[in-house]
Structure formats: C-alpha cells, structure tokens
Amino acid sequence: MMAYENIIFEVEADVGIVRFNRPKALNAINPEMVKELDDALSKVKADSNIRVLILTGQGDKAFMAGADISQMANFDTLQLRRFSRDLHEVQFRLEGLPIPVIACVNGFALGGGTEMAMASDFIYASENAKFGQPEINLGLIPGAGGTQRLPRLVGKGMAKELCMTGAIISAQEAKEIGLVNKVFPHELLWEETMKTAGILVSKGRVSLMFVKRCVDRGLDMGLRDGCFMESDAFGLCMASPDGKEGLTAFLEKRKPDFKGGLD
C-alpha cells in the first residue's frame, strides 16, 4: 500500500476527500504528488461506498499553486514532457470517475492548480481564491490542459487572453466568466461544499454517472449524436434499480432510497 506524503486521503460520510498536502510549497504539484493522486483515484474507483469526491488544499493559503518550479527547472525536455503527460493522464482518470468530483478551491489555484480544478465536475471557491495560467511569464505555456479545458469553459477569446497575459483573477471574476460555479466566504466554503456533496450522495449513482458522461462526451459530438447518446442513457437509467425506485417513490409520495450500483 502506497504511503502518502504529498496528499491526504480520507473518507467522510460516503464522501472521498483528497487534500493536496505540501502547504510550505503552497501545495505545488510534483511527480510524487501525481503518483499519489493516481493511487488515491484507484481507491476511490474501487470503493462503491464513495459517492462523491472533493479535491482541496491543505491549509488556508492554497488549493494548488501550480507546478513545483524548483523541481521542474531541473527537468530536461523529455522529463518535462513526461510530467505533462502524467498530469494529463491523472486528470483524465479524474474526469472518468463515475461519481461527481468537486474542486473546493480555498486559496491560490494557479497554473496546474487551475488546470486540476477544471478537471473536476465543478468548482466552488473561497472569496480569497485566485485563478490564472501564468506560465507565459516563465516563457512557457500551460502544460496540464489549460489551452484545452479553459476555452471549453470560458470561451476561446477569454481563454487566449488569460493564457497570453498570464493574468491572475479573483474568485468573483472567475465566476463571472464561467470558470467557477459559486463563491463563498472563506469560513463557509468547506461547509457549503460538504452540503452540496451531501445532496449528491442522496442521488442515484447510475443517473449521476450518466449525467457526467453525457455532458462530457456530448461536448465532443455534434448535437444530433449527443442527443441520441442521451436517449440511450435515459433508457438505461429507466432500466436500472435506481430508476425503478425513483419512479415508484414518486408514485408512492415518498423519498427515494437509491441503492443501485454501477455494475
């Protein structure tokens, strides 16, 4: 079993929690953290009791302040490319989880921090949070999906502006451009994130999985193909134990008790 030194992984009330745990380095990501996150995602996927995953940063200052430049500066071209590819792979694994993933951004989320948050299903942020893709200031470009996920969330022009200027924006600005879903006072962020996680835990696993899958895959399809995919998923939900329970509970005027798995 892998011992974690760069993240903390725990489970609370059917909610998996990953805390990036390098507070002295503002939780900057390095190759070791990527490996540990990948291992934690394997545990999340294997545990059917985990219904939601939350990503956050240890401490009050940072969610993840980008890549660890002190390490990255010593990489050669192939090592830097490998680091980028490994980041992409762990983010694809994150997006591929069949459960909702919430990024709870409690401070700086710069470079890889913004990119990691964007690989979640949606982002809740503290009023203190800051977002940006400042790689251009180092003579680089985003290397963990910034040029790809950002335009899908905020549009081509805004994404180019942020990546080309390296501007750091506030949580409220991030909300206004569609990067962040909600902004809360810092002291209420965790409570509000867990409140939403509790709502998601009460929903059917199958329907949550298909919402995530249809939205994510549909963005890469034409409208007609996406709608056909939705019809297939709609039918499969109806055939699942959760679908039958939901309809029965509605007719019986009671709250549904969803227990369906994903097998």
Q: Is 192 a catalytic residue?
A: no
Q: Where are the beta strands (DSSP E) in the chain?
A: 7-12, 15-20, 52-57, 62-65, 101-105, 108-110, 122-126, 130-132, 168-170, 182-184
The answer for residues whose C-beta is within 8 angstroms of residue 26's C-beta and 6 or more apart is: 61, 62, 64, 65, 107, 108
Q: Which of 25, 15, 17, 16 is nearest to 6 (CA)?
A: 25
Q: Which is it for strands 130-132 and 168-170: parallel, antiparallel or unpaired?
A: antiparallel
Q: Is 115 a catalytic residue?
A: yes
Query: Can you tell me whether residue 234 is helix, strand or coil?
Result: helix
- DSSP letter at 149? H
The phi-psi region of residue 71 (left if phi > 0; otherwise alpha if psi is between -120 and 50; otherwise beta) is alpha
* Marked catalytic residue, from 5, 89, 115, 127: 115
The phi-psi region of residue 15 (left if phi > 0; otherwise alpha if psi is between -120 and 50; otherwise beta) is beta
Number of helical H runs and strand E runs in the chain: 11, 10
* Marked catalytic residue, from 12, 95, 135, 252: 135
Residue type, 42: S
Q: Is the dihedral of CA 18, 24, 29, 35 positive or negative?
A: negative
Helical H runs in 138-188?
146-154, 156-165, 171-176
Residue numbers annotated as active site: 115, 135
